[in-house]
Structure 1
Amino acid sequence: MEAALVSVATGVLELVLGKLGTLLGDEYRRFKGVRKEIKSLTHELAAMETFLLKMSEVEDPDAQDKVWMNEVRELSYDMENAIDDFMQSVDDKDEKPDGFIEKIKNSFWKLGMLNFRRRSGRDIQDLKKQIIEVGDRNGRYRTGVAISNSKNATVDPRALTIFEHASKLVGIDEPKAEIIKLLTQEDGRTSAEEPLKVVSIVGSGGTGKTTLAYQVYQDLKGKFDCSAFLSVSRNPDMIHIMRTIHSQVSHQEYSKTEAANVQQVIINISNFLADKRYFVVDDDIWDIDTWDIIKCAFPTTSYSNRIITTTRLNNVAHSCCSTFSGHIYYIRPLDMVHSRQLFHRRLFKPGENCPSYLQEVSEQILEKCHGLPLAIVAISGLLANTRREENIWNQVKDSIGRALERNPSIEGVMKILSLSYFDLPPYLKTCLLYLSIYLEDSTIGKKGLIKRWIAEGFIHTEG
């Protein structure tokens, strides 16, 4: 049986369930008094673990749910201690005593253990009672609002970045030219022979994938019979996505694209595009299954058609490009020259230079941003609202993480980066949050960190 893991979402509930399962095994069959309670407690905790895992994927859970989740996690540690004590009491002193004195000592020990086991049984009953009370209390004070499955319900802040005028964008000319070349080169074949071609842009959140794809789209869409640009997002409504494609390529009002189901919309799109040249950008695809649905709408009977996809995930990019003739383009962070240009443009007027006393701290801030456009824009926006004093800029440099959390003008950064966090499995979320025990900007040794993760029960020893 695979070892259980400790999780930030569920505490040690998985460990507790494993130990309760052990107590229900043949080795502990003689303790009939607590087996019924253990079975009941196991069912209760299994349901709670499922709920906590579901809640861990909600970006902004209800305040009452947060309180309830914390209570259950704390109780899981108390339960683990009680179960460990009980198991220890029944596992000790299995050997037969020799001699009269040893028999007397053993009798007294057994009497003490009997009382201890009774006490442990009561502890398990008390813990079960606490768990049920916590659940009941949560039910009494809930407002009746169901948990939302939407992981991206608010307005995506990237939607605004694509409308920046090209003249305001920094470092985009070279990657844009590279993408256009990948899309337009014909590989020695005539346009009549050339199949549908896909370019998938890959990069982490905030690297400018959407902005780059939109600028390419603006340059090339006029060369095709029909075109579409849409954001897929992490938790897409597929019928809405397909109706949006149909509306854009056919120039029909969205209300006129209504169909009974996704399959019917796909058929409508495919029939419309069958004899046309089209160019479509599918921005922000998070999983292969989503792409497998979207690609069905694009016929390969006509030639010289083009699709751009953007994604954070390599496996999604490979899937997009393996379907048709395709190229993967890995977006690069801004170099220091372009980083500095973007940083200064947001802070100083045209023709104005960065004061000499702020140049060193500016460079240090840019090094922390690692060429991530979103981070540079966020930090420069924060500094634009502060005095141009070296000590203030140094404070921002030394607390960039905390500054991001506090400043409401750059909530968009946290929103975008949080998507990557919420896409992680529970055990990796725990591993990532564990890094907060280290001092900011400290060097973290890989081997030591992995040993800590294993010791804490976050990951298995193997793999």
Structure 2
Amino acid sequence: MEEEGLVSAATGALQPALGKLAALLGDDEDKRLRGEAELLTRELAAMDAFLLAKSSSSSSDLIPSAQDKACMHEIRELSYDIDDDLHDFMEASVCDKSAELAGLLDKMKAILGRTKARHEMIAKAVDDLKERVAQVAERHSHKRSKVDRRAPAILDDAPKLVGVDGPKEELIQLLSGSVESTQQQPTPNLVAIVGSGGTGKTTLANQVYQELEGQLDCHAFCSVRRNPDKARVLRSIYNQLYSSYNNLDRLSSPRPGVRDLPGLITMISDYLENRRCIIVLDDIWDVEILKVIECAFPTASSGSKIIITTRIHAVAQSCCSTFSGHVYNIRPLSMVHSRQLFHTRLFNSEEKCPSYLEEISGQILDKCAGLPLAITAISGVLADKASEKEIWDQVKDLIGRALRNSSVEDMVNIISLSYLDLPPHLKTCLLYLSIFPEGHIIEKENLIRRWIGEGFIQKKSGYTVYESGEMCFNDLINRNLIQPAKLDETFGDEVKNCCVHDTVHNFIVSKAVEENFVTIVGVPGVINPDPKAKIRRVSLQNDGEVPPSLDVSSARSLHVFGRNVKIPSLSEFRLLRVLDFENCSQLEDDHLVGIGNLLQLKYLRFKHAKAVMKIPEQVAMLHHLEIDVNGYGKLMEIPMTIQERLACYVTLCVDGYETVPDEIAAMQGLRVLEGLNIYTQSTEFLKRLGQLKKLRKLGIIWNMYDMGNCDVNYDKEEEEIEEEFLSSICELGKAGLESLHIFVREAADAYFKRSWFPDPQCGLRELIIVGDFLSEVPTWVASLVNLEKLCITMRVINERDMEILRGLPSLRHLRIYADADEDDVSESRAAMEKAMEEHPNRPTLVWYED
């Protein structure tokens, strides 16, 4: 991706426009033209500084007036238009330069003619842009008036540190049936947790869920939200129940072809016959989904548990009349627990709170009225100001009236304080989350790729642009404005997915729409303010459809969620930088017609787009494009012209059973390949796999029984497959493979006897070997001098194994799945703990006995 200024919510596209203007005019010798351009550049730079100052929390304690807000909005809109115009001109200029001319004389004449025409075109463009900037400057004066100091932080699961144990035990008692119910029929026990937003309902439900899930046969946790797709909810419940009972990972989880409600109800009912489960249905807004769930439960499923969370008391009462249920009204935190939560977030322990802050601390907590979301918000404000009493006084005064009524308006007041305390680049990254549906689980990597494609991330010295984006993601996590939804399943040291608390989500949607940062289509209650305004980003959700009156020709990104959305024509979106289709089973090849005309496209993603058979060849014409094909259905065809493009970054996730075409092994831009079953691939594919020099992450399934019906020469074919694969693995290790995930079945030890990575220069940083138990750590693991993370499934750990693991110089995380049936498993664990304590890095050890 070319280096240019950042696009931001505060300054729009002013910085990229300035960069393009400098690049375009840098080699011009026309003095008048240069003077005009410098004047335009100064005016644009002044506007950029004004917008940054107005959006920065460090610009005294001033708030923008209505006049300033109007000015800021108009400058941002102008910046996008200028940036688009400059890009169009530069594209036209490049095309002209690239014309092939016959003969040296003709070529020189053509260059002179084009240079003259180019000067005239640039002069006209500069005049036009200067006039437009001047018009805006004349209409607005940049007066500044008061701005409140704002502050961050909100993390729904924060109260799990305090005040949860008592309520958790009460709920477990209610679910156990120890509290008498008025109903005697053998239906699942149900508890409905009721409370307003930010009171910790989901956290409490999750704590009970984690406590009970191991005591029952199967379990599922599903966020329902407003206007749920009932079939989607049931599919999620079934998949989780099935996977938890059978202890399967995602590659082995069922993907039922049944789509209709009656079929899904029958599947769940049949599956739960004679099985007990616990199900959490989070954030229910009406009783219709409970009626569907009731149909799915067999009457003999006594002993099963259901927890629902809701903000609406009438919904809770109705749910409890359906099952043998109890309403649980969640209570605010006590002052003791409030202080413990507040001080822990600030000082790590209550004892560290300075005495001079004790009184004001109590005053702040009194205003928060025991609401966990409010407490974490205020603690986030003060996180880097923990010793500045003056700032604490200001924050206390800014909170306003006490939040005794737990109203949404009060909570939003604190969230808005959080928002404006962010630096401009984090404001932009946070507002961008408004494109996702409420309650959506957001994949970190996908989010960062979108940020990069939009131009939000500035590459930091010494880091890649992705690593710089990861820092922004971590900042938002640390400030508690987004919540970890899923940690690294194996090592638990990295957030893989996140979500946004619904109260925070409502705020950023309102803010993004108000500032014309995002246009959201298909969500009831979201009103985009001005139908005549130019659209910058479009999020299509639910059963949304882009109305004909909406001009999307200036949109920079299109985000499509769900199978009920009507896919718009790409011919209307000529300026797209980011195009993402998530769970769009209705997306077909015809919908991608014209994608080759999206010359600025930088990130293209398909997740579960099962009906798309082929990525259009025109995509190969797009420069600096990243393609993410993420799904577990039939692998779409990727044309050779795309495969041969070195600049194209490609991620492929397959379902673990399908055969990947041999041609994929020629895709030099392939960076991630997951779900590859080596016994369903041709030997030619496995041979060419080692040529993927840019492959950084590989996930494989090693199970020879997946070969199916083979010829008589079975042993020879198996040996040939393994030889070719191991040869390729060696090549990938030399080329820079960083992560290898192996799921192994049957004859596990035999697979690892040979040398996988003989080259001492192998850069592998992460190795995961799970599935069947190994009897020893493979010898070649000792040569992995760069290995930082190791997960391995072992029958027993002996002294030899510990010596290998202790000798890995870069090891930081070690996870061992041990066979619980082995007699000396506890001795092995104690010895391994000691070995890791003696390691120079003192790696984190997670020991799990299966």
In the other structure, the counterpart of 1:263 is: 262
- Per-residue deviation at 1:210? 0.7
Residues 12-35 of structure 1 deviation map (CA, whole Å, 9 limit, x = unaligned): xxxxxxxxxxxxxxxxxxxxxxxx
Partner letter of residue 288 of structure 1? V
In the other structure, the counterpart of 2:503 is: 417
SS for the counterpart of 1:256 is coil
The structure-2 alpha-carbon separation of the partners of 1:377 and 1:188, relative to structure 1 and needing over 3 Å to count, comes to: closer
- Per-residue deviation at 1:410? 4.9
**Conserved 8 A contact 1:186-1:194:** no
Higher helix share: 1
Q: State yes or no: 1:241 paired with 2:233.
A: yes
**Conserved 8 A contact 2:193-2:329:** yes
Partner letter of residue 177 of structure 1? E
| Separation in structure 1 between the aligned mates of residue 285 and residue 185 of structure 2, nearest angstrom | 32
Where does 1:46-445 land on structure 2 (aligned, <5 Å)? 161-162=156-157, 169-186=161-178, 194-251=186-243, 253-254=252-253, 256-350=255-349, 352-386=351-385, 388-400=387-399, 401=413, 402-408=416-422, 409-412=479-482, 416-417=502-503
Residues 241-274 of structure 1 deviation map (CA, whole Å, 9 limit, x = unaligned): 1111001111165552231322211111111112
Q: Following superposition, which runs of at least 4 residues in structure 1 exceed 3 angstroms of deviation?
A: 186-189, 192-195, 252-255, 349-352, 407-415, 418-423
SS for the counterpart of 1:257 is coil
| Separation in structure 2 between the aligned mates of residue 266 and residue 298 of structure 1, nearest angstrom | 8
Unaligned residue ranges in structure 1 (runs of 5+): 1-62, 68-156, 427-463
SS for the counterpart of 1:281 is strand
Residues 80-127 of structure 1 deviation map (CA, whole Å, 9 limit, x = unaligned): xxxxxxxxxxxxxxxxxxxxxxxxxxxxxxxxxxxxxxxxxxxxxxxx
The structure-2 alpha-carbon separation of the partners of 1:415 and 1:228, relative to structure 1 and needing over 3 Å to count, comes to: closer
SS for the counterpart of 1:343 is helix
| Separation in structure 2 between the aligned mates of residue 327 and residue 320 of structure 1, nearest angstrom | 9
| Separation in structure 1 between the aligned mates of residue 421 and residue 269 of structure 2, nearest angstrom | 46
Ranked by relative contact order (alpha carbons within 8 Å, sequence separation 6 or more), the top structure is: 1
| Separation in structure 2 between the aligned mates of residue 351 and residue 333 of structure 1, nearest angstrom | 20
| Separation in structure 1 between the aligned mates of residue 274 and residue 333 of structure 2, nearest angstrom | 40
| Separation in structure 2 between the aligned mates of residue 397 and residue 222 of structure 1, nearest angstrom | 44
| Separation in structure 1 between the aligned mates of residue 272 and residue 314 of structure 2, nearest angstrom | 28
SS for the counterpart of 2:282 is strand
Residues 333-380 of structure 1 deviation map (CA, whole Å, 9 limit, x = unaligned): 101000000001011134743112111111111111111111111211
The structure-2 alpha-carbon separation of the partners of 1:343 and 1:331, relative to structure 1 and needing over 3 Å to count, comes to: same
Give the TM-score normalised by structure 1: 0.52
SS for the counterpart of 2:352 is coil
**Conserved 8 A contact 1:244-1:254:** no
Residues 109-149 of structure 1 deviation map (CA, whole Å, 9 limit, x = unaligned): xxxxxxxxxxxxxxxxxxxxxxxxxxxxxxxxxxxxxxxxx
| Separation in structure 1 between the aligned mates of residue 198 and residue 351 of structure 2, nearest angstrom | 27
Higher strand share: 2
Unaligned residue ranges in structure 2 (runs of 5+): 1-72, 78-152, 400-412, 423-478, 484-499, 511-523, 526-850
| Separation in structure 1 between the aligned mates of residue 398 and residue 161 of structure 2, nearest angstrom | 27
| Separation in structure 2 between the aligned mates of residue 188 and residue 385 of structure 1, nearest angstrom | 50
- Per-residue deviation at 1:291? 2.3
Where does 1:25-36 land on structure 2 (aligned, <5 Å)? none
- Per-residue deviation at 1:418? 5.7
Partner letter of residue 279 of structure 2? V
SS for the counterpart of 2:275 is coil
Task: Tell me how many residue pairs correspond in the alignment.
Answer: 270
| Separation in structure 2 between the aligned mates of residue 202 and residue 371 of structure 1, nearest angstrom | 16
Give the TM-score normalised by structure 2: 0.29
